[in-house]
Structure 1
């Protein structure tokens, strides 16, 4: 059965993952089941990608319409939480998952608070009553472990200026620089969903990787989940670009004490120790303001909110006018204290 739905053994209602207790919970009778002790149906059932072309809700029998990347969703007719098991097996099976720890209600409350903290946002935006929808999504990521062998050659100088008698001297010493460095970076996150904005996902970091758990399908119940659009080989260039700045910073810290440094050769050999496919929790908020939709994202574990809110031109103008007025008064005061005149 490729469509997996968790029925409550007590009342038969659909169960969902409870972010507060970390258990599979029944909203009808309040039953809670420990996920870690539950058998995973994907372990005992092997599905192939071509086994089914149409999914049916096990509660009401309705056809479940999804996009090709969706692995968990809810029935549009009865609202039952379903997991599409055949899209989570074999090479599509995540290794680990960080479960949601922030509920939908908590996420909404935190987002409203974040809106009100915007000093330059339009006044109407701060009311945060135009939210079109808030959706909990498990976003696919690749976590890379990258090992780097770095060799750097260059020319450095140390310049000393001193005075002797009536003359000033400049002494320049020249050095040949060579550094051999090994740098390992673990859990470098790259989002693997074509739908997700890469910039938004990068700004959501860091995720608490100590909360990673072995993947089990009950964690997805009640949420939307996506499978990866790009494999680890396709995203490797992005992962290398992501650590490049850190490598450059380390090289700079290893070549200090010189007045000038000119690199003549810099070799960075990066190898992939492993790439782990994981699902990370993200609340996506769609907000309508002045007939324009704004998208925000919230880290489902830390509550960090990222996005670009609208800016009030009137508030920006007032802010600059206030700054200019204060600067003018300060200059007048300084001029008066010095006995001068400022026009």
Structure 2
């Protein structure tokens, strides 16, 4: 079943507006709060078909989507629709962070970010090379975790001193033991097989105070994906994700030693809670030098991640400038010390 959000004034389609946080009609300007929309048409059934055909009630066209799409737009009339049977029952998200940055704001932020690239080719930002910019609600599993960490190791303290003509080095060894209880809240891991995991990790963090109870109108006018992996399937990945924080915290508790070597580090992480959320991402597809470059922008904060092309000429000039500066500094030091210029 497809959900259309129709304007009560003129009958045109409504979409979620980032500025007001309401459903807005582009034709007459009517705005309605999300809470006022009736969700009685949400069903609790789901089909695992690889492709589904839906009928657009707005223009009569048939819409073909793949099995992962939960919100899309009609290719013929542009109406934003939500595939309600894919966001209900076990597939219903618990929370959502609505888009805060509009499409036009995303374009301007992306162009500004590109211009700050000191090593990007001179023609990278000339002309309109943005092939496509798409707002997508990306599925994430969010975890509350507890880690019990037990560490055994050896710490050393080294002291060097002189007596007479001799220099002595004294090394003392200490047993190091730590038993640490750590709690983590709202650790996100993207659950879509289509999205690049590295980009999705780097586009974080989000302000999780803005999490709202999920309602289908938030998806109107955007694309959305359903999760491909369960929270159990991604548990090993979320454990890997917090490992560097665990290591950093353990290191912060061990101070005052010249060196520390660990004999044993036992980390046992358990899941306290997990819930399914949708987070906003602008995907930017940019053409340059006959290649498509993909960037991701946090739809809430505007943070941009991706790898723009690098100009070899600018890199050479940059290293040449550094080398020239070093030579000039060395010559100045030599002159001050009485050596004159080389």
Q: Confirm whether residue 289 of structure 1 aligns to residue 288 of structure 2.
A: yes
Per the alignment, in what secondary structure is the counterpart of residue 311 of structure 1? coil
Q: What's the CA shift for 1:318?
A: 1.5
State the alpha-carbon separation in 1 of the partners of residues 17 and 193 from structure 2: 28
1:50-89 per-position Cα deviation (integer Å, ceiling 9, x unaligned) = 7995311111221111121000000111111110011111
State the alpha-carbon separation in 2 of the partners of residues 214 and 55 from structure 1: 27
Greater Cα shift, 286-295 or 329-338:
329-338
Where does 1:1-343 land on structure 2 (aligned, <5 Å)? 2-41=1-40, 45-49=43-47, 53-127=52-126, 129-341=128-340, 343=342
State the alpha-carbon separation in 1 of the partners of residues 236 and 67 from structure 2: 25
Q: What's the CA shift for 1:120?
A: 1.1
Distance 1:165 1:317, change over 3 A: closer
Structure 1: runs of 5 or more not aligned: none
| Residue pair 2:48, 2:67 contacting (<8 A) in 1 also | no
TM-score, length basis structure 1: 0.95
| Residue pair 2:15, 2:80 contacting (<8 A) in 1 also | yes
Q: What's the CA shift for 1:178?
A: 1.4
1:140-196 per-position Cα deviation (integer Å, ceiling 9, x unaligned) = 011111100111111222222333455444333322221110001111111111111
| Residue pair 2:52, 2:66 contacting (<8 A) in 1 also | no
State the alpha-carbon separation in 2 of the partners of residues 107 and 55 from structure 1: 30
1:110-131 per-position Cα deviation (integer Å, ceiling 9, x unaligned) = 1111111111111111236111
Q: What's the CA shift for 1:95?
A: 0.4
Distance 1:79 1:142, change over 3 A: same
Q: What's the CA shift for 1:341?
A: 4.9
Distance 1:79 1:147, change over 3 A: same
State the alpha-carbon separation in 1 of the partners of residues 325 and 310 from structure 2: 23
